[in-house]
Structures are given as structure tokens and as C-alpha cells.
């Protein structure tokens, strides 16, 4: 059994609220998701969305838009962002947490730490990010 949710939005800061609202719907529909898993997943989704909003450039005359699809399964939470922006060619292997007193450069590194799998792919007509969070992380941490 899995449940699916999605939202299509302009790549503008106000769209972050739509993601929080989408996740509220997910948590209501799937009340068995652990709090820590929700925190990890929501934190990572907002960091990726913020990266798209802040750094994307239009590929042509159309403004940048993204589609977020979320899938909730018994053992994992999965999200995929696709956008129509100019392909960015991001290398996630370089996303490392900066020095503690650095005021910037944490976004993708934080998403990477929060997730179990995180990937980016440059596509012909945009960008694709996939995010996976295995569920029951609190129980796993105690083992």
C-alpha cells in the first residue's frame, strides 16, 4: 500500500508554504509516520525547494516551475522534484557541511544528512531531484 501526493508550483519563495501544506496532508493521511522521520523528510524537502527557488534560471521564456511528487510507503518516504529550469548540473558529492561559524552553504548538505538517499539528475528539459527517507529511524537508531 502506498499513498501519493503532488503539487505544482512556481519557483518563488511563497511556494514553500505549499510544500508545508502538502506535508500536513501527508501526515494526516498517514498518521503512523514517526515524528523524527517527518522532521527529516520535511527539512530535506524544504532545503531542495529553497535551492530550486533561489538558484534556478529559466531555460527559455517560461518562468521556472516545479512539480513535487511525494509517495508514502510502509518502509519509506519518497519525494521527487522535477522542474523546467535550465539544467544546473549539481554535484551532490560536494555538498558537505561547512565550518560551524559559516553563515551559508548548509542547504544541500543538511538535506543529504537528513536523508537516506539523495540524488540529482540533469535532464534534457530541466532537473530532477529524488529524496528517500527510510521510516522508523528512531527505532533503528536505538538498535
Partner 1 sequence: MIEFNNETLANGVGVIRPVGRLNMVSAPRLGANIDALISDGTVRLVVDLAGTSFIDSSGLGALITGLKKTRQAGGDLRLANPTAQITAVLEMTKLNKVLQPVSSVDGAYS
Residues forming contacts to partner 1 in the complex (CB under 8 A) are: 13-14, 16, 20, 35-36, 39-40, 42-43, 46-47, 50, 53-54, 97, 100-104, 106-107, 109-110, 113-114
Beta bridge partners of 85: 58
Dist CA 42 CA 19 (whole Å): 8
d(C-alpha 11, C-alpha 98), whole Å: 26
Closer of 60 and 100 to partner 1 (Cβ): 100
b or e along 51-60 (b: 16 or more beta carbons within 10 Å of the residue's beta carbon)?
Answer: bbbeebeebe
Between 41 and 82, whose beta carbon lies closer to partner 1? 41
Q: With respect to partner 1, which residue has the nearer C-beta, 25 or 54?
A: 54
Reading the block at residue 82, the C-alpha cell is 522535477
For residue 63, what is the DSSP state?
A: P
Minimum Å distance from CB 130 to partner 1?
20
Residue 36 C-beta: closest distance to partner 1, Å: 7
Closest to partner 1 by CB, 43 or 136: 43
Amino acid at each position: 500500500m502506498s499513498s501519493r501526493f503532488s503539487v505544482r508550483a512556481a519557483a518563488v519563495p511563497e511556494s514553500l508554504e505549499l510544500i508545508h501544506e502538502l506535508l500536513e496532508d501527508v501526515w494526516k493521511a498517514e498518521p503512523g509516520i514517526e515524528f523524527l522521520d517527518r522532521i527529516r523528510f520535511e527539512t530535506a524537502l524544504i532545503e531542495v525547494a529553497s535551492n530550486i527557488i533561489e538558484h534556478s534560471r529559466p531555460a527559455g521564456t517560461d518562468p521556472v516551475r516545479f512539480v513535487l511528487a511525494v509517495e508514502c510507503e510502509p518502509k519509506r518516504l519518497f519525494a521527487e522534484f522535477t522542474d523546467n529550469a535550465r539544467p544546473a548540473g549539481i554535484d551532490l558529492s560536494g555538498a558537505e557541511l561547512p565550518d560551524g561559524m559559516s553563515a551559508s552553504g548548509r542547504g544541500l548538505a543538511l538535506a543529504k544528512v537528513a536523508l537516506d538517499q539523495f540524488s540529482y539528475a540533469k535532464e534534457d528539459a530541466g532537473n530532477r531531484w529524488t529524496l528517500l527517507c527510510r521510516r522508523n529511524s528512531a527505532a533503528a537508531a536505538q538498535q
